[in-house]
Amino acid sequence: MSESETESGTSAPLGTFAVVGPGAVGGLLAWLLDRAGHEVVAVGRSATVEAIREYGIEVRSAQFGGGLRRVAADTVVPEGAHVIVATKAYGLEDVLPGIAQARPAEVVSFLNGVEHMPLLREALPGVPVVGASVAVSALRLSPAVIDHRSPFVNIEAPEVAADSAIVRALQEAGPRVRVRGTEAEVLWGKFRLLAALALLTSYWRQPAGPALSEDPELTEAVVAEIVACSAAEGVPASELDLVRALHSVPGGMRTSLQEDLAAGAPSELDALGGALLRVGERRGLALPGVERIVAALDDAAGR
């Protein structure tokens, strides 16, 4: 019997799920939860909400078959909802008051990075808030059309979230969901890999394979610096494991930071590279490799 099933075999309703930031990741998760029969509302800004109301959410996915689903959409978070947060880091502060006002049952965030959790907790006192990670490659082609490019959606959530309705619903909706360790372990586990990949792919303007091999010394420095940051923040890791993880990524993979910078769009450079530099400053770590890349990307973006 699955966790959300009753003794009689029928699914117990887990409540309303609100996906705040129905972009590539949020739209895909909303679509998957809707497909699994849950009550889902995609919560976004008016242009996106209008597009989803008019058209639905279309997912193109080899893994899940894809298709169009008439997912409900609103600009307001429903009262007491189970909230998934999937905005970009730079959009988080704008959505916090609306989430707080809805007095959500719980909040699970899927943002990349590590600095968003204190912001969420400060804005949502008394609300169970959990940081999870998702490994997936997805891109929003238009406000209601999502291209799911990776043959996987791998979610990790910390052990404290084992009973979360969001985690239980996602476990049954299609993604691979692993519940393990602490929140810091989950977030840094993803952040170590993502930060290295995102910075190097963006710097070299190449997909993962060539970006990692372009300048082995720079790659080595970035790996060592990120592992040092992780350890200083209480999550020890091995450089060798990170190198192995980086080389297991498909060589043709591009990162969302790389896509955003290439498009001249707002990016998460500060939430990734900037966050590492702030750890370095706080912990007295020299990060010359990360610093060089962030400075070059800042220059290129005209900051």
Ligand X SMILES: NC(=O)C1=CN([C@@H]2O[C@H](COP(=O)(O)OP(=O)(O)OC[C@H]3O[C@@H](n4cnc5c(N)ncnc54)[C@H](OP(=O)(O)O)[C@@H]3O)[C@@H](O)[C@H]2O)C=CC1
Ligand Y SMILES: CC(C)(CO)C(=O)C(=O)O
| Interacting residue ranges for ligand Y, rule: CB under 6 A | 112, 135-137, 194, 197, 255-256
Q: Minimum distance from CB of 121 to ligand Y (Å)?
A: 23
* Binding partner at 44 among ligand Y, ligand X, none, C-beta below 5 to 8 Å by kind: ligand X
Query: In this structure, are residues 85 and 110 in contact, taking their beta carbons and an 8 Å threshold?
Result: yes
Residue 86 engages ligand X in binding (rule: CB under 6 A) = yes
Residue 256 engages ligand X in binding (rule: CB under 6 A) = yes
Residue 21 engages ligand X in binding (rule: CB under 6 A) = yes
Q: Minimum distance from CB of 8 to ligand X (Å)?
A: 37
Query: In this structure, are residues 199 and 294 in contact, taking their beta carbons and an 8 Å threshold?
Result: yes
* Binding partner at 294 among ligand X, ligand Y, none, C-beta below 5 to 8 Å by kind: none
* Binding partner at 89 among ligand X, ligand Y, none, C-beta below 5 to 8 Å by kind: ligand X
Output the six-digit token pair for 162: 């084992």
Q: Minimum distance from CB of 79 to ligand X (Å)?
A: 19
Query: In this structure, are residues 156 and 202 in contact, taking their beta carbons and an 8 Å threshold?
Result: no
Q: How many CB atoms lie within 10 A of CB 186?
A: 24
Question: Measured between alpha carbons, how far is 266 from 271 in angstroms, rounded to an integer?
Answer: 12
Q: Minimum distance from CB of 10 to ligand X (Å)?
A: 33
Query: In this structure, are residues 235 and 184 in contact, taking their beta carbons and an 8 Å threshold?
Result: yes
Backbone region of residue 146 per phi and psi (left: phi > 0; alpha: psi in -120 to 50; beta: other values): beta
Q: Minimum distance from CB of 99 to ligand Y (Å)?
A: 22
DSSP state of 66: -
Among 36, 55, 66, 91, binds ligand X (CB under 6 A): 91
Residue 22 engages ligand X in binding (rule: CB under 6 A) = yes
Q: What's 83-146 look like in SS3?
A: EEECCCHHHHHHHHHHHHHCCCCEEEECCCCCCHHHHHHHHCCCCCEEECEEECCEEEEECCEE
* Binding partner at 197 among ligand Y, ligand X, none, C-beta below 5 to 8 Å by kind: ligand Y
Output the six-digit token pair for 216: 């082995």
Residue 112 engages ligand X in binding (rule: CB under 6 A) = yes
Of 230 and 256, nearer to ligand Y (C-beta) is 256
Residues lying near ligand X in the complex (CB under 6 A)? 21-26, 44-45, 48, 86-89, 91, 94-95, 110-112, 134, 136-138, 140, 143, 256, 268
